[in-house]
Structure 1
């Protein structure tokens, strides 16, 4: 009984601790390194326990250049974080400083269950010389859409850069079908710039494309992004081609949307026919997300069918129809019970023959001995 009470006490202690809320805001801040510059951030500590002692700390590879106005707060409070850069840091690239708040456990609290939360300060120290970081964003679209294009560049080096950007668009064969140019800009250390336009897809064919952003600043930085342009078409990629003669069977129609937008009420009318007659059935409808694949599932009674049949599929969606054709074989299913019986009988006959031969040989040897 005492043991159960002990474990119950631990559970209540842990659940009470876990329910306590502790937060710190802002959660994320970014600075570019500028020699000798100073920065301040006012942080707010959020806590649902007014008397809770909370330790404030700083850690990370640039923590030596940071200070906080308070090392301890009680409950919800605020403090000031100060960051003073030196004249030089010999470690170019991205760095992180963590500004943390952690509960100081009381004497009756386990240390391992105290809440600890941290905010992030990102610092970028420029690379020597010329260094450009670039990105490109382009979503999928449909024929006739105005697709938004967004390229961005940030000077991550110590030298100023004068940039002449352009974006080339290539089709699946690699041919450049469109070029988009932007005005020349100059970026100082740490500065960034976005370049935005719309791509008019009128006259484009549906399919896969590649956008290549080229940033010329005496050197060249390139970044590419693939995207798709869709047409209002849903393709039938596969249909059932074999079924056993065994009553009601599932018939599958695999489909793929080549449209960038969702489609509702997509279904198929399936016709199975031969020289004697035909059977028509409809699948339940489904919804398709852009560029997605699904399987339509219908039902066909094969009890009175056997042999080869022609299959035609009329796929219906958004007032349009796609057609697909194939063949279906309805076969008599293998009766494994009969086959097992035949195999067993054959094996039994073989055993009888072998045993008979052995007996015959033994008797023959006995006659000669006499």
Structure 2
């Protein structure tokens, strides 16, 4: 018991040390009572040394989960190890979200004398989620504030998931904006949509308030049919705290592990602690097909840092996929809508309206403005040549 407590203490102290990774970060399992499912996960070893690992299970589904190995060893030359866990879906679960977590702990090395641990243990986890639908109509939602943009406008986005066994026919949100003095300064209303049972969609609205820089608070009332849900989010105008500089995926092979290196810049004059990136990738039906996170980072004031997150692309086909990148820090979150152009040996990360990471080299004439200018120049040359020929013939006629 004493050794276990010591290991847990080292885990808590091991901040910003990420010698291992794990993928997928989360797996959603449909609630089918009495059934079982076996799920593979991969432990990634970025530490070039022999290491011992232990596998722990926690969460309210811990008694329903078993793992293929409770401990294992990876040699310095091993880059990854595949493991499996099995989940037996209980016959009766209450409505709502139920979680299980498989934690892989890289054990600290023992000293030569006394068996004491040296160094810090590092832990990573993969989660399994089982959601039991509520009877009737039920909405689960969050409020995200994007921006401010260059013109000072912000976008309120509310992702809504229908968690009941009945469809949501009319869904919208009324949003009130308050100053730091708790004075209501404006109100806006989002678009209205329909959400079928089990689906996730978004309502949104752009607000451009003619207000001075400073802290503000948005209070949203989500109205779905005859029910309501309150949401709140604080945000700042006049400064963009955390910005994405680039996203790079190197040495990628389709079907393997994609390592996303996300370069972010802290534009605030204070350190941002507990910051992490989360990416969701959607299939052609708009459903979340992958959801993975980076470890947490402490980013110094006015500095840049690289966040690393891993995606297992096994079973994924080449193509263009919509994705959402979330930057989480404190009670705030920034959101970037992206597209992933996935091919056999590379991933191009494309931002909506701008390129985040450079794709394959392109011709100068891939720019439509350049094409128009080039066509115009060619036409001017042709016109001038015809005019010159016409004048020359005319002058020859006069000389005769």
Task: State the TM-score bracket (shorter-chain normalisation).
Answer: 0.3 to 0.5
TM-score, scaled to structure 2:
0.42
